[in-house]
Structure 1
Amino acid sequence: MRDSGHRLVLLTIVLLAFAVRVYHLDFQSLWRDEMDAIRFAQDSPSALLANFTRAGWNGPLYYLLLRPWLAVAGDSEFALRFFSLLWGVLAVPLTYAVGRRLLAPPPAILASLLVALSPYLVWYSQEGKMYALILALTLLSVYLYVQALERGGFWRWAGHVSVTSLCLYVHVLAALIVPVQALLFIAWWPHYRARWRGWLVAMAALTLPYLPLALWEIPTLLSGFTTGHEFVPLPRMLNTLLVAFAQGLWPAGNWLAIAIFVLFVFLLLAGATLSGMEGYRGRVRAEVALLLWLCVPIAGVYLISLKMPIFLDRYLIWIGPAFYLLIARGVIEVGRRSRWLAAAILITLVVLNSHGLWWQAHTPIKSDFRAAAAYVRQHRTPDELIIFHISYVRYTFEYYYGDSSPYADGIPTDANTTEAWLDAVMKAQTRGYDAVWLCYSEATMWDKREMVKAWLERNGRRTHHAVFTRVEVSRYELSP
């Protein structure tokens, strides 16, 4: 196929990527992390800039970029998520560009299709957070890095350093792209040793924009700071990432999940080990690049987690293109031996992705504060207290409800909390109110024994109750 044919196919895939991402873009209710994005982006400019050196703060550049977007487009669900959608769509041609540079047009085209239809990547292209942005920026960083190594030149190196620096301020764990690229140069030394001066200057330059973050990251790591995440063993970490990239969020049955697991492991091995069209040296360079891109960040997160657990699969969303490029290459290599088998595998991948996309586009998954707020608005009178448990969900509730006053924060409890102490606090909190609403979401984070709910059940009569996705609301008439 000629270049014009590749461009036409790629354009079709990009349009497909846009279509599946814009479909039901505002179907899911906002959840608290997306509400945070709106709140932080609409903060004062001085507060936004201060976040670049604030301890424990992640993604300050994302909120800075989101601010003017919300000022123009508004803060609706659709507007917030459309910003992510644009970056998610951009990741498709960037995957093709990187794939063509490392591999060849056929696997590059196929990988761009897999990225376009990946339920996991579509999900985060429909979420008002920084994950689609960091996906696109790391792809661009890798592309510019390979360009700089192959062709040299000040502006190519400057472009690579600039984009990689942006990555560091969009998500803190994107810093792991730097050791990936450093190891790539070492592995590619025989081929690109003439670029060592430019590479050395670029690596040195990349440490400068990262210094403000390092000032708090290293002390935080050494202090034993509690992240709130559980420690995830390496095998479970690998399985979580494989399930995310292979099937997305939809819960496949046991046997189907095993079949998907086997298929993707087979394609990964085929993509990493079978001979390809690039020749031996080109094949080795591509294998090294994709495997380092895929494996080094996982190893880095695991090693950090030994001291301070930080693993969430979405933090490593930017290794997804390496995964899909290896899968695409595996399909191409299988096709060299059996076109019918490759065609069957490709159809299977498209069907699996399509099913996952349909499922998550029509299944309420995020906390449904939209429905909860509508229910409370219909049944609550203005003089009734509403308790938010956990208290942080009030911001998301009020996005749909408006001012919820009078309100109170749910009482955090732990293993040492006594019923007598809680009874005194709850009586003081509800004094003067004949009826109380409880907005209950993720409460076990603060109240594992559900003591607040139990107190209301003992001291009141429940008159209204509704359960929505990850949220429930109840009205209690209190005993005199």
Structure 2
Amino acid sequence: MPTATQTAPAPAAPARAGRRRPSGPDWLWAALLTLAVTTFRAGSPQLWRDELASWNAASRSTGELWGMLGHVDAVSGFYYLLLHFWVALFGDSAAVLRLPSALAMAGTAALVVVIARALFDRRTAVFAGLLFALLPVVTRYGTEARSYAFAVLAVTAATWLLLRALERPAAGRWVGYSALVAVSGLLHMVSLLVLLPHALIVVLRWWSVRRTRTVVSFAVAAVAGLVPVVPLVLLGRRQVGRQISWIETPRMRDVSGLWDNLFASPLVGLAIAALALLPLAWPRGRRHAVELMLLGAAPIAACFVVSQGSSSYFIDRYLLFTVPAWAVLAAAGLAALRPRAAGAAGLAALVLLGAPDQRQLRTAQAKEPSDGVAAARVIAQGYRPGDGFVPPRGKTERVFMVDYQIEYYLPERVRLRDVFAERSAVASDDLFPVECKQPERCLGDTKRIWLVTRDSGDDHDPYNWLPAADKKALKDHYRIARTTDVRGLHVSLLERVK
């Protein structure tokens, strides 16, 4: 029986390999909870420009999609192809477009639990499952029609297979690991930075057991996984100027901003950072905490260094695949708190810190500040067959994809002619149409035009952001019959005068 002088129990340490027990249904409820959280009101936020690009690409035929990828967005091609078949089966509502990402996050939650159980204990695994499911960033990108959640799933699965292969090497595990490395790179090339911490973990394990064959197996599997990605990397490098030239070279002050955005909540990010440091102070079991720290921190550091070159990749969503490692490490910190109730209280406090962000993520303007639904409604109510359409384009404005925003929300009966598009985006094998070099000639005999431009705030000019030639052609031949302002947009009906 315990005596009065018995010391308090030490923080939870990793279970011995031979004493680990299956995590039972813990992985299942974590996956279901994550799926429930990410699908709750998933269709409420309006699609923003990156999601509109996904919708537009996925809505094309496979031949049209392949033609587009040769000119732009090749790095997203694998995801676009998956989404293409998904849309063909289930439609393209906002909730349906985002559901694959929710499923990917649910799969990641299951892996987070089994990794935490393998490295630590069931208490840590339970905390990890709850924490991951309720992180605001999981909601943010679990309701995003982009490839990021899939990259997180692939990287986490690769990490799990690596840990299993290091524990008990087998050819099938290394083959599976190699395949997942390839899938990770095809989904998002920046996710290949995970190979750095993977290599460091292999070296640390080798230092303990000196099993050289394992190091060789890892090197062969990693290289084999990179081979299918090489053509994509080469093609992506040619397109990089059109896609990420807007990302600035990072400075040290940008690291804190990235950390806040990595968790979609500054307060949650701060709490995760504090909790993640606790397991590093353990007298026992520090090795697994160090490995997780490498999985979380090494890709961020590597991306910072690489981004000092000609192209920058230092943006939170590109490094989203590090979040599972931080979640497990923070969960281990919660599990180490004493008394044991302090861990549950800490988790509850962390969830409360993220509650305002969770609410905001489900509002209509959570991702896109301008109201495309309202703008499309104005056009639909006043539409007449033969009406034209002019959105802002040009080199700086087309990236906001106002044209796709309106097109997505217009009912099928409304078919507007894109007046200043000399050749459509599909015909051009591009995300954007080819614009008229002589705008006045492209007007033709169009009697009415719907002009939709972004609201710049102080200036209420409905011709905002239009190229000078387009603006002159419209002003010379049309008058503004009426202008309706909706959130972030001007919707003007122009009528021909001569």
Q: TM-score, normalised by structure 1?
A: 0.81
1:145 aligns with 2:146: no
Counterpart residue number, 1:417: none
Deviations 1:191-244 (A, max 9, x none): 3532223223213322322221243356677xx777332314243442233222
Structure 2 SS opposite 1:75 = coil
Residue 87 of structure 1 contacts residue 132 of structure 1 at CA under 8 Å; is this kept in 2?
yes
Residue 53 of structure 1 contacts residue 212 of structure 1 at CA under 8 Å; is this kept in 2?
no
Counterpart residue number, 2:282: 275
Take 2:77 and 2:209, find their aligned partners in 1: how far apart are those partners? 35
Take 1:20 and 1:428, find their aligned partners in 2: how far apart are those partners? 52
Structure 2 counterparts to residues 74-153 of structure 1, below 5 A = 74-153=91-170
1:464 aligns with 2:483: yes
Deviations 1:24-66 (A, max 9, x none): 1211223332233233234444565678877762122222222
Deviation of 1:387 (Å): 0.7
Structure 1 SS opposite 2:87 = helix
AA paired with 2:417?
Answer: P
Q: What is the CA RMSD across the aligned residues, in angstroms?
A: 3.5
Take 1:115 and 1:169, find their aligned partners in 2: how far apart are those partners? 25
Take 2:257 and 2:33, find their aligned partners in 1: how far apart are those partners? 27
Structure 2 SS opposite 1:7 = coil
Structure 2 SS opposite 1:188 = helix
Of 327, 332, 337, the residue aligned with 2:330 is 327
Structure 2 counterparts to residues 435-474 of structure 1, below 5 A = 435-441=448-454, 460-461=479-480, 463-468=482-487, 470-474=488-492
Deviations 1:237-266 (A, max 9, x none): 422332224444xxxxxxxx5x65653432
Structure 2 SS opposite 1:167 = helix
1:208 aligns with 2:216: no
Of 299, 323, 346, the residue aligned with 2:301 is 299
Which one is further off, 194-203 or 126-135? 194-203
AA paired with 2:330?
Answer: I
Counterpart residue number, 1:308: 311
Take 2:259 and 2:137, find their aligned partners in 1: how far apart are those partners? 11
Which structure has more helix as a fraction of its residues? 1
1:407 aligns with 2:418: yes
Counterpart residue number, 2:380: 377
Deviation of 1:92 (Å): 0.8
* Pair 310,10 (structure 1): closer, same or farther in 2 beyond 3 Å: closer
Residue 119 of structure 1 contacts residue 353 of structure 1 at CA under 8 Å; is this kept in 2?
yes
Take 1:477 and 1:133, find their aligned partners in 2: how far apart are those partners? 47
Residue 180 of structure 1 contacts residue 297 of structure 1 at CA under 8 Å; is this kept in 2?
yes
Counterpart residue number, 2:359: 358
Residue 465 of structure 1 contacts residue 474 of structure 1 at CA under 8 Å; is this kept in 2?
yes
Deviation of 1:464 (Å): 2.5
AA paired with 1:372?
Answer: A
Residue 387 of structure 1 contacts residue 407 of structure 1 at CA under 8 Å; is this kept in 2?
yes
1:175 aligns with 2:192: yes
Deviation of 1:160 (Å): 0.7
Deviation of 1:305 (Å): 2.1
1:475 aligns with 2:484: no
Take 1:59 and 1:213, find their aligned partners in 2: how far apart are those partners? 10
AA paired with 1:95?
Answer: V
In structure 1, the gaps of 5 or more residues are 249-256, 412-423
AA paired with 2:154?
Answer: L
Structure 2 SS opposite 1:464 = strand
Take 1:43 and 1:461, find their aligned partners in 2: how far apart are those partners? 35
Counterpart residue number, 2:274: 266
* Pair 396,406 (structure 1): closer, same or farther in 2 beyond 3 Å: same
Counterpart residue number, 1:420: none
AA paired with 2:56?
Answer: R
In structure 2, the gaps of 5 or more residues are 1-11, 13-18, 423-436, 458-462
Deviation of 1:476 (Å): 4.1
Residue 294 of structure 1 contacts residue 323 of structure 1 at CA under 8 Å; is this kept in 2?
yes
Take 2:300 and 2:464, find their aligned partners in 1: how far apart are those partners? 31
Residue 82 of structure 1 contacts residue 126 of structure 1 at CA under 8 Å; is this kept in 2?
yes
Of 86, 89, 107, the residue aligned with 1:72 is 89
